[in-house]
Amino acid sequence: MSDSDPADPATVVAALADPSRRALYIQLRNSDRPLGRDELAERTGIPRATVAFHLDRLEAVGALTTEFARRSGRSGPGAGRPAKFYSLADDEVTASIPPRRYDLVGDILATAAEESDRTGSPVRECLVAVAQNRGHEIGDANAPLVDTLAGIGYEPTAEQDGGFRLTNCPFHRLASRHTDLICSANTAFVRGLTDRSTEERQVWLEPSDGHCCVRIGPRDQAV
């Protein structure tokens, strides 16, 4: 996994199902500094070779980040090779099936509230603007729109007219409790994603049982 690729929460959770990996992860979570293989082996009682194997697996799925350093502080000839030290890539791991993105909508809501306080504009007006801007920031002009939508968790399916039906709402629980507010923000967010795309699609609110409230039309379709 490259540094630019986000860790898949479900993959990280699956990796942590192993008791040894979970023990190593907990040690790193409770530490105020990166730890090396020797120290982790000593703290957990797991053989060093086994520690190295599990740490490499956790690094591969994006659960850990690494750095190389000499703990002695010495440098130059005779100082020895730098050792590899591990720390958590994130301080919290959550996963849900189907995917949910409450972190994303929470950040949008908080930003909108701050913008409303700063400008005096109505919160709902700020929310729509912030959501669309965030969609534009996340969108990728070099990637197919369907891949961007799938990466966020919308689970898009192609319709016969060339548009997309979004079969999952990443904000489902909030949308079910605060439908008008969250669905308005969701529509603006998806509109920002499509604005960033080169596919020039229309986006509108179209609630449907068992699906996301947002509908994406075919290329160049007006509504």
Task: Show the tokens assigned to 210.
Answer: 């068992």
Tens-digit pLDDT string for the chain (223 aa): 444 455 677 788 778 888 899 899 999 988 989 999 999 999 999 999 999 999 999 999 888 999 988 765 555 555 567 889 999 987 666 656 677 888 899 999 999 999 999 999 999 999 999 999 999 999 988 999 999 999 898 999 988 888 999 999 999 989 999 999 999 999 999 999 998 888 878 999 998 887 899 999 987 654 4
| Distance set, CA 173 to CA 99, 183, 187 (Å) | 12, 11, 16
* Residue that the structure tokens 């002695």 belong to: 72
Residue 191: which of 135, 146, 145 has the closest Cα? 135
Domain spans of the chain, in order of start: 9-88, 102-219
CATH of domain 9-88: 1.10.10.10
Give the containing element (helix H, strand E) for 149.
helix 145-152
SS3 23: helix
How many other CB atoms are found less than 10 A from the CB of residue 207? 12
